[in-house]
Amino acid sequence: MTLPASLLLVLEITRPCFTRHSYQTFCHLVAGMVAQTGRRTVTGMLTGAGVSRLWPHRRAHAFFSEASWDPDRLGLRLARAVVETLLPADAPVLLVIDDTLLHRV
């Protein structure tokens, strides 16, 4: 699988969030999501990555349901990378939160 250098840099930031095996699966799924022109389903990501006939589909589905990775850790690593790339070191970060979908009790 050949990916653009810019995408490889972003994927490398996420490497500590995964085991070696789950990182490889994650990279293929991301590449498939980017390359997929149709629906962005798990099966579509496998097709987009060109591995739909090489991998059992269970491998990709198990990545989301069984693999040991933390989506919050992944999101924080990516958010930190975006902030460090776009803002000076001491710049404040302004967050706007939309609670439209928040269930109120």
For every one of its 105 residues, what pLDDT tens digit does the chain have, with 9 covering 90 and above? Answer: 688 999 999 999 999 999 999 999 999 999 999 998 888 899 899 999 999 899 999 999 999 999 989 999 999 999 999 999 999 999 998 889 888 888 777
User: What domain range is 72 assigned to?
Assistant: 5-86
What is the spatial distance between Cα 55 and Cα 51, in angstroms, rounded to a whole number?
6
Residue 46 lies in a domain: yes
Specify the pLDDT at position 103: 79
Residue 100 lies in a domain: no
Which residues are CB-contacts of 13 (< 8 A; sequence separation ≥ 6)?
Answer: 77, 78, 81
- For residue 75, the SS3 value is helix
Residue 36 lies in a domain: yes
Residue 101 lies in a domain: no
Residue 69 lies in a domain: yes
Residue 103 lies in a domain: no
Q: Please tell me the total count of domains within the chain.
A: 1
pTM for this prediction: 0.81
What is the spatial distance between Cα 23 and Cα 69, in angstroms, rounded to a whole number?
9
Residue 30 lies in a domain: yes
Residue 16 lies in a domain: yes
